Amino acid sequence: MNILICNVGSTSLKYQLFAMEDGERVIAAGGAERVGAAKSLFYRTEEGKKVQEECVFPTHREAIQKMLSCLPAEETVDCVGFKVVHAKGVTGVQELNDGVLAAMEAFNSVAPAHNPPYLAAIRQFRALMPGVPLIGSFETAFHANMPPEASLYSIPWELTERHAIHRYGFHGASHEYMTTWAAEKTGRSDLKLISCHLGGSGSLTAVDSGRSIDTTMGLSLQCGVMQNNRIADIDPYIIFYLVEECGMTLEEVKVMLQTKSGLLGMSGVSNDLRDVEEAAAAGNERAANAVRAYTYGIKKYIGSYAAALGGLDVITFGGGIGRNSATVREQALAGLGIFGVELDPEKNRNAKGGDDISRGGSRVRIFVVDTNEEIVVARKAAKLLRAGGACHE
Ligand code: ADP
CA distance 138 to 114: 12
What's the pLDDT tens digit per position in 42-60? 999 987 899 999 999 999 9
Distance 323 CA to ligand 1 centre (A): 8
pTM for the whole thing?
0.95
Collect all residues with Cβ–Cβ distance below 8 Å to 324 and sequence separation of at least 6. Answer: none
Query: At 358, is the secondary structure helix, strand, or coil?
Result: strand
Count each helix (H run) and each strand (E run) in the chain, helices first. Answer: 15, 13
Query: What is the pLDDT at residue 48?
Result: 83
Q: Which of 114, 196, 278, 324 to mutate for ligand 1's pocket (most ligand atoms within 8 Å of CB)?
A: 324
Q: Long-range contacts: 216-220, Cβ < 8 Å, 24+?
A: 216/169, 216/301, 217/167, 217/168, 217/169, 217/170, 217/171, 218/153, 218/167, 218/168, 218/169, 219/110, 219/153, 219/165, 219/166, 219/167, 219/168, 220/110, 220/111
The pairing of beta strand 365-368 with beta strand 192-198: unpaired
Largest CA distance in the chain: 64
What's the pLDDT tens digit per position in 200-254? 899 999 999 999 999 999 999 999 999 999 999 999 999 999 999 999 999 999 9
pLDDT over threshold 90, residue 296: yes
Distance 197 CA to ligand 1 centre (A): 11
Query: What is the pLDDT at residue 391?
Result: 42
What's the pLDDT tens digit per position in 250-287? 999 999 999 999 999 999 999 999 999 999 999 999 99
Distance 75 CA to ligand 1 centre (A): 32
**Closest C-alpha to ligand 1, atom 27:** 321
Contact by Cβ (8 Å): 207, 195: yes
Ligand 1 atom with least separation from CA of 7: 4
Distance 203 CA to ligand 1 centre (A): 14
CA distance 221 to 214: 15
Which residues form ligand 1's pocket by a CB distance below 6 Å?
199-201, 228, 272-274, 277, 319-321, 324-325
CA distance 34 to 13: 9
Distance 321 CA to ligand 1 centre (A): 5
**Closest C-alpha to ligand 1, atom 23:** 324
Residue 133's pLDDT band, with cuts at 50, 70 and 90, is very high
Query: What is the pLDDT at residue 61?
Result: 92
Query: What is the pLDDT at residue 22?
Result: 94
Residue 390's pLDDT band, with cuts at 50, 70 and 90, is very low
What's the pLDDT tens digit per position in 324-352? 999 999 999 999 999 999 999 999 999 99
Ligand 1 atom with least separation from CA of 263: 16
Distance 126 CA to ligand 1 centre (A): 32
Query: At 81, is the secondary structure helix, strand, or coil?
Result: strand
pLDDT over threshold 90, residue 317: yes
| E-assigned strand segments in the chain | 2-8, 13-19, 25-33, 40-46, 49-55, 79-82, 93-95, 134-137, 192-198, 202-208, 211-215, 314-318, 365-368
Collect all residues with Cβ–Cβ distance below 8 Å to 362 and sequence separation of at least 6. Answer: 340, 341, 342, 343, 344
What's the pLDDT tens digit per position in 1-45? 999 999 998 888 999 999 999 999 999 999 999 998 999 999 999
CA distance 152 to 221: 16
Q: Which of 8, 274, 275, 317 to mutate for ligand 1's pocket (most ligand atoms within 8 Å of CB)?
A: 274
DSSP characters over 176-202 = HHHHHHHHHHHT-SS-EEEEEEESSSE
CA distances from 212 to 71, 90, 106, 278 (A): 37, 18, 25, 35
CA distance 191 to 179: 9
What domains can be seen in the chain, in order of their start residue? Answer: 2-138 (3.30.420.40), 186-368 (3.30.420.40)
Sign, CA torsion 68/372/9/280: negative
